[in-house]
Amino acid sequence: DTGVSQDPRHKITKRGQNVTFRCDPISEHNRLYWYRQTLGQGPEFLTYFQNEAQLEKSRLLSDRFSAERPKGSFSTLEIQRTEQGDSAMYLCASSSYRVNTEAFFGQGTRLTVV
C-alpha cells in the first residue's frame, strides 16, 4: 500500500474557475477527512466521511465547496467559482473504523488562485 494519494499535487487556476481534487485513501480505511492549510497555520478540518456518508462538515465548508465519496473509496473535493482566498494546501487523511486509531495524511494538493 502506498498510503493516501492525492491528485493533482499542484493546481493553478484563474479566479472564478471550478476545480476538483481527488483523494485515494488507504484501501482498507473507511474513514476519510479533508483539511485545508494556509501558509503558517496548522491544518483546519473541513469534512469527514464514514464510507460514503458525509457525517460532519465544518462551517469553513461554504456552499461553493462540495465533497463526495460515492462508493466509499476515493473522494473528490470541488470548489466552484474559486476566489483568491481559496489558495491553500488541501489535505486528505484516512483512518480505519477502529477506535484509538491514527489518521494518515496524503501529501496534499496546493491550490493557487490567480
Partner 1 sequence: DAKTTQPPSMDCAEGRAANLPCNHSTISGNEYVYWYRQIHSQGPQYIIHGLKNNETNEMASLIITEDRKSSTLILPHATLRDTAVYYCIVSHNYGQNFVFGPGTRLSVLP
Binding site for partner 1 (CB under 8 A): 4, 31, 33, 40-45, 48, 56, 58, 91, 93, 95, 99-100, 102-108, 110
Task: Provide the Cα torsion 85, 47, 74, 4; round to 10°.
Answer: 80
Q: Which is nearer to partner 1, 39 or 71 (CB)?
A: 39
Q: Which is nearer to partner 1, 44 or 80 (CB)?
A: 44
- C-alpha gyration radius of the chain: 13
Residue 40 CB, shortest distance to partner 1, in Å, is: 8
Q: Which is nearer to partner 1, 80 or 107 (CB)?
A: 107
CA atoms within 13 A on the CB side of 47: 22
Q: Which is nearer to partner 1, 19 or 26 (CB)?
A: 26
Rounded CA-CA distance 9/7 in Å is 5
User: Which residue, chain included where needed, has cell 489558495?
Assistant: 87
DSSP reduced 3-state for 110: strand
Residue 111 CB, shortest distance to partner 1, in Å, is: 14
Residue 62 CB, shortest distance to partner 1, in Å, is: 18
Rounded CA-CA distance 20/66 in Å is 9
Residue 91 CB, shortest distance to partner 1, in Å, is: 5
